[in-house]
Structure 1
Amino acid sequence: MRIVAGFLRSDEGRAALDRAIEETRLRDGELLVVHSMKGGERDEERQVVTYREEFEQLESRLASEGISYRLVEYARGNSPSEDLLQAAKDEDAGLLVIGIRRRSPVGKLVLGSNAQDILLQSDCPVLAVKAGGQADQ
């Protein structure tokens, strides 16, 4: 089974990636980790370097744990949800793993919700993971 997860430097992103690794191990599958960047925009070099370092650390971790994996970076001008949905479709994924966080109704309205888009539009099952220590309010 092919499992797709996004790469995001947040507690939710790390929790989702940890769970995706666990699911890959349980299902003897292959993990596709997608890093989605807008592209065409000038990022601060420090942020790009930090992402690259963490992406390389992730690759080392996956290799040392014996996980079958691929890491991809997209800079196509799409939203993260568009890139993850397209990767899942292109790869015929059996599972898409995402991190979620609580947001106010106004926050959802103003900023949109990648998680909501993925949950509503995915052709494959989606596992939504909360970061540890989050309590419902």
Structure 2
Amino acid sequence: MTILIGYVPTPAGEAALTAGLAEAGRSGDEVVILNSPRRGSTVDPSLVGDTDALLARARDAGVAATIDQTDHGPDVVDTFEALVERSGARLVVLGLRRRSPVGKLVMGSDAQRLLLELSVPILAVKPGP
């Protein structure tokens, strides 16, 4: 089976990667790391991360991993759901960051939509203090 990890090089993304690799190591699953910009967006290369380092971390954890950096459309839920279907993922791992209630109201919450709408179980993790 496969575990899908949503990753950007932030504390929340690092927490998701760590938790996802640990779960894959326990269960013997492969990992797909989703690390891609929205289609048509201008993305700072530092937001994508060092793919060689990501693969090395997976290797060090004893986990087979691939990275998906395909540009995706404007709807993050559609992007995750399509990759869940393509990869046969049994679990999605997401990092969550703290946002104020006003920030959620004004900006919306992709994480909340993923939690409510994805068809597979989700492991949501927060970065440590």
The two structures have a TM-score, normalised by structure 1, of 0.83
Aligned length: 129
Pick from 89, 108, 116: which aligns with 1:120?
116
Distance 1:37 1:79, change over 3 A: farther
- Matched residues in 2 for 1:68 and 1:95: separation? 16
Q: What root-mean-square deviation, in Å, do the aligned CA atoms of Structure 1 and Structure 2 show? A: 1.8
| Bigger Rg over Cα | 1
Q: Which runs of 5+ in 1 are unaligned?
A: none
- Matched residues in 2 for 1:127 and 1:41: separation? 28
The two structures have a TM-score, normalised by structure 2, of 0.88
Q: Contact 1:37/1:76 (CA < 8 Å) preserved in 2?
A: yes
Secondary structure of the residue aligned to 2:73 is: coil
Q: Give percent identity, aligned residues only.
A: 32
Q: Which residue pairs with 2:28 in the alignment?
A: 28
Deviation, 1:74, is 2.0
What do the CA deviations read for 1:78-110 (whole angstroms, capped 9, x no partner)? 344432232113222111100112211221122
Q: Contact 2:34/2:68 (CA < 8 Å) preserved in 1?
A: yes
Q: Which runs of 5+ in 2 are unaligned?
A: none
- Matched residues in 2 for 1:101 and 1:121: separation? 19
